[in-house]
Chains A and B, each alone.
Chain A
């Protein structure tokens, strides 16, 4: 199956937040009462009931104020820390290359939430017992109403009035993103010399690509996202534990045999 992706063009986004609403509607997520924190950004963070939101980055330059809008949701990494760390296989790469979640399998451990380089998965958890379920964007691959396999676009893309979000084959979107970045950089009165395409190679290639007007850090994105070191150590540790336990058991068994034989020999004497 050919890899699919979403291309988000920050220079086209007007922050109408239609995508936020469409996401809630399609995925039947509850609305949440939020509080005013001094910004038009709303709600202030992702949650188990909010899988997508538009982030407002405020910028004041040469006495003029402007917003940078960016889409905050699962980036659907190829080298996905969440998939690597999930103990039950509840998180997995689907046939389109994006990261799906089987909620039936989720035990609510929250490791995905703690390892995600973009801090996307959110846990709805009962603190004392630890019982809960994780939630995040699954790129509209919900079992039973999978938009992608039905040949539809994800709900957020479908609703976007400015085509800041487009959906398609990943290869084509990478080419499109590059083309847009080249255009944005072309010197003219409204050029964006810092424009760049984010997600082409990060973490093995993201399935949400960003055309950004400025450097990723300005948007609150990690410039060079990496799989956490602990992921890599655990990959070594998991087989190593059998060496440690097997080695210990082997040494002890050998010791037992030798000690018993020598004790019997001593008794015979």
Chain B
């Protein structure tokens, strides 16, 4: 990150204010979509969301979609290179990534951190998460778009499969949300995860121990 680490070497900028805004608006919309989708989709809730209540929940779901899609799209219009890099980053794999996969189970259950190969700006787990997110969002948006605007005009089997894909994506997305929250907020090893997304900075120590390769790069730029 070229613009990172303008401050002292002990504090490193991890997320720009724009990135944080996009993250939190996207997150808020995602949670709203999960809750409204949950209510529409599960037959358990049927009796409580009949008639105009249900119709309103479906309208709120649509508003949520616009809020969910807008931040990344606007970001991509103003900074296409960065958004492209955001996606590309997840596809670039090396030997340290396979080393990460080997070391991760022990590491996350509190094993020796020295066994973990040094990681870049995002680690392999984050790459996997980002891949899931890119494909998941694509699946949600494409199937949701068809179901919203082509209801009654698209061939019924296409609609049926869209509904199914949307639901499978939902099941997986909620599971991934649990994982994301755990690693950002609850896991003892990731003690600065959530702070980085709130004030944008992490300590030099955290950067060094969690993203060794990235920290070296930042420190080098700092020296120059």
Complex Cα gap A248–B168 (Å): 15
Tell whether, in the assembled complex, residue B164 and residue A259 are in contact, meaning their CB atoms are under 8 Å apart.
no
**Contact string against B for A residues 112-136, beta-carbon threshold 8 Å, 1 for contact and 0 otherwise:** 0111100100010101011110000
Asked if A258 lies at the interface with its beta carbon under 8 angstroms from chain B, I say yes
**Interface 9-mer from A9-17, A24-32, A99-107:** A99-107
Most buried by B among A240, A256, A261: A256
Residues from 72 to 129 in A contacting B, C-beta threshold 8 Å: 86-90, 102, 104-111, 113-116, 119, 123, 125, 127, 129
Residues from 40 to 54 in B contacting A, C-beta threshold 8 Å: 40-43, 46-47, 49-51, 53-54
CB-defined contacts of B53 to chain A, threshold 8 Å: 107
Residues from 50 to 88 in B contacting A, C-beta threshold 8 Å: 50-51, 53-55, 57-59, 62
Give the bracket for the number of chain A residues in contact with chain B: 35 or more
CB-defined contacts of B157 to chain A, threshold 8 Å: 228
Contact of A87 (CB < 8 Å), options: B41, B109, B152, B172 = B41
Smallest CB separation, B5 vs chain A (Å): 28
Closest to A84 in B: B43
CB-defined contacts of B149 to chain A, threshold 8 Å: 127
Tell whether, in the assembled complex, residue A131 and residue B59 are in contact, meaning their CB atoms are under 8 Å apart.
yes
Asked if B128 lies at the interface with its beta carbon under 8 angstroms from chain A, I say no
Asked if A233 lies at the interface with its beta carbon under 8 angstroms from chain B, I say yes
Residues from 164 to 179 in B contacting A, C-beta threshold 8 Å: 164, 167-168, 171-172, 174-175, 178-179
Complex Cα gap A109–B186 (Å): 38
Asked if A179 lies at the interface with its beta carbon under 8 angstroms from chain B, I say no
Smallest CB separation, A222 vs chain B (Å): 12
Asked if B145 lies at the interface with its beta carbon under 8 angstroms from chain A, I say no
Smallest CB separation, B143 vs chain A (Å): 12
Asked if B159 lies at the interface with its beta carbon under 8 angstroms from chain A, I say yes
CB-defined contacts of A114 to chain B, threshold 8 Å: 151-152, 156, 159-160, 163
CB-defined contacts of B98 to chain A, threshold 8 Å: none
Asked if B187 lies at the interface with its beta carbon under 8 angstroms from chain A, I say yes
Asked if B161 lies at the interface with its beta carbon under 8 angstroms from chain A, I say yes
Known A114-B160, A131-B59: A256·B187 in contact at CB below 8 Å: yes
Smallest CB separation, B205 vs chain A (Å): 16
Tell whether, in the assembled complex, residue A255 and residue B171 are in contact, meaning their CB atoms are under 8 Å apart.
no
Tell whether, in the assembled complex, residue B159 and residue A129 are in contact, meaning their CB atoms are under 8 Å apart.
no
Tell whether, in the assembled complex, residue B110 and residue A262 are in contact, meaning their CB atoms are under 8 Å apart.
yes
Residues from 67 to 125 in B contacting A, C-beta threshold 8 Å: 108-111
Tell whether, in the assembled complex, residue A111 and residue B163 are in contact, meaning their CB atoms are under 8 Å apart.
yes
Closest to B61 in A: A130
Tell whether, in the assembled complex, residue B163 and residue A230 are in contact, meaning their CB atoms are under 8 Å apart.
yes
Smallest CB separation, A77 vs chain B (Å): 15
CB-defined contacts of A249 to chain B, threshold 8 Å: 178
Tell whether, in the assembled complex, residue A261 and residue B59 are in contact, meaning their CB atoms are under 8 Å apart.
no
Contact of A129 (CB < 8 Å), options: B47, B62, B163, B187 = B62
Asked if A244 lies at the interface with its beta carbon under 8 angstroms from chain B, I say yes
Closest to B189 in A: A259
CB-defined contacts of A255 to chain B, threshold 8 Å: 108-109, 182, 187
Contact of A88 (CB < 8 Å), options: B50, B148, B168, B179 = B50
Complex Cα gap A258–B110 (Å): 7
Smallest CB separation, A236 vs chain B (Å): 11
Known A90-B50, A259-B189: A119·B175 in contact at CB below 8 Å: no
Asked if B188 lies at the interface with its beta carbon under 8 angstroms from chain A, I say yes
CB-defined contacts of B50 to chain A, threshold 8 Å: 88-90, 102, 104-107
Closest to A116 in B: B156
14 further A-B contacts with Cβ under 8 Å, apart from A87-B41, A106-B51, are A87-B54, A88-B47, A88-B49, A89-B50, A102-B50, A105-B50, A107-B55, A110-B152, A131-B55, A230-B161, A234-B164, A237-B168, A252-B182, A256-B187
Q: List 27 A-B contacts (CB under 8 A).
A: A88-B50, A88-B54, A89-B46, A89-B50, A106-B50, A107-B51, A108-B55, A113-B151, A114-B156, A115-B160, A125-B151, A130-B148, A228-B157, A230-B161, A237-B168, A241-B171, A244-B172, A245-B174, A245-B178, A256-B182, A259-B109, A260-B188, A262-B109, A262-B110, A262-B111, A263-B110, A263-B188
When A and B form their complex, which 8 residue pairs have the shortest distance between CB atoms, in order from nearest? A262-B110, A107-B54, A105-B50, A230-B160, A88-B46, A114-B159, A259-B110, A248-B175
